[in-house]
Amino acid sequence: MNMLKDILANQIPISQNRIKDLIAKKGESEISRVSVAQAYSGLRGIKAFVCDTSAVDPDKGLIIRGMPLLDIKDISPEEVFYLLITGRIPTEAELTDLKAEFSNHIEVPQYVWDILEKFPEDSHPMTMFNSGILSMQRDSIFRKKYDDGMPKSKYWEVLLEDGIRLLAKLPSLGAGIYRLRFNKGDRILPNKSLDWAGNFVHMTGIPDPTGDFHRLMRLYLMLHCDHEGGNVSAFAAHTVSSALSDPYYSVSAGLNGLAGPLHGLANQECLKFVLGIRDQFNGSPNKKELKEYCWNRLKNGRVIPGYGHAVLRCPDPRFTAFINFGENHIKGDEVFEIVTNLFEIVPKVLLEQGKAKNPWPNVDAASGSLLYYYGLKEFNYYTVLFSISRAMGMIAQMVWERALGIPITRPKSVTTEWIEKNS
């Protein structure tokens, strides 16, 4: 990790001076106006803080450090984390250094398993995952050094160290919970010769004779790594971290947001929808039948899961990446066939209906069908996978927030009475 620290140590003063100059020149410039409707609508569209790790363009989708997602879809999770942190893809030596750091901290302490084994049998995997993360907070280096009085200039270094140690353990924690919660047998020890995604597949015990499940996990963990700073999980983590909470507290807070049905649980809802179609038609319906099914669903006041996005006004590039993977690896599977046919039919139906601002699919429309094909069929586990990936973006954002000295998040609220009198 020394290589990564050295790079950041050079980058941070440059960024600090850049922002100092920007504030001096444009500190009074307005970047957003807030309407009463926005104040009552989840702050939708309000530009209120800065996130440099990624941006979501309504017409292009996710852009990571200036790079469109589909241009970098083949890089590994380790490489995308390095990109999120530094703004560039690592050299071979830098990647080897980071992988070695992950490998050194891959094992989850036994006391965590002692805790998780006491959970009720019907506990939600996300509850177990978050509890595992929180239980490891006792090992936080940031907490200990903060208590010892470390200078502010060191915050980012120690947070990075904490963050990498936490990230290194997440595949082990997630895979162990999978085996424990779903009675898959004893935990499988990590293989330190494998990469982040490969180790996760190995530790789940899910058969992967072709290596395609490993390839899918590389793609899945890379695609879900970040989605700018205003989504629920990222903003929750940002807010908690701004109080100088360590990464264990902050990531856990973000993932508690991710567990909500309007955020990270959407992928399992999409898969349930697709499997419901399959069961009703005893297989994949033809396109005419599928179109009628979608229209009937809309006429009954129900939405079509996986279509529409709060920001995007184009097909989600993460969806495109998954569809391309499916076309190359599982074409002909009836569940995947329903997904691809829905993509052809649903946007046209929604446009004809005239109510949807965005008729295009989001990432959740496709991801579940691929996981299902490769044997990961426990729906309520899917958000754990999402969490393992999204923690990378949270950590990267936290490191830079501490490096730049971003203060505690404290927006001002007003009352309804104040709006009535003053707007």
Instruction: Point out the residues that are catalytic.
Output: 263, 309, 364
Q: Which residues contact 416 (CB under 8 A, 6 or more apart)?
A: none
Sole residue written with tokens 């957003």:
32
Nearest to 379 by CA among 388, 368, 390: 368
Max alpha carbon distance in the chain (Å)?
68
**Cα separation, 390 vs 386, whole angstroms:** 6
Distance CA 336, CA 346 (A): 15
One DSSP character per residue, 14-79 reads HHHHHHHHHHHHHTT-------HHHHTTTTTT---S---SEEEETTTEEEETTEEGGGSTTS-HHH
Residue from 86, 109, 90, 110 nearest 100 by CA: 90
DSSP 3: H
Q: Is 173 left (phi over 0), alpha (psi -120 to 50) or beta?
A: alpha
CB-facing half-sphere around the CA of 35: CA atoms within 13 A: 5
What are the helix (H) ranges across 282-333?
Answer: 287-299, 317-329
**Alpha carbon distances (Å) from 26 to 15, 19, 66:** 16, 10, 22
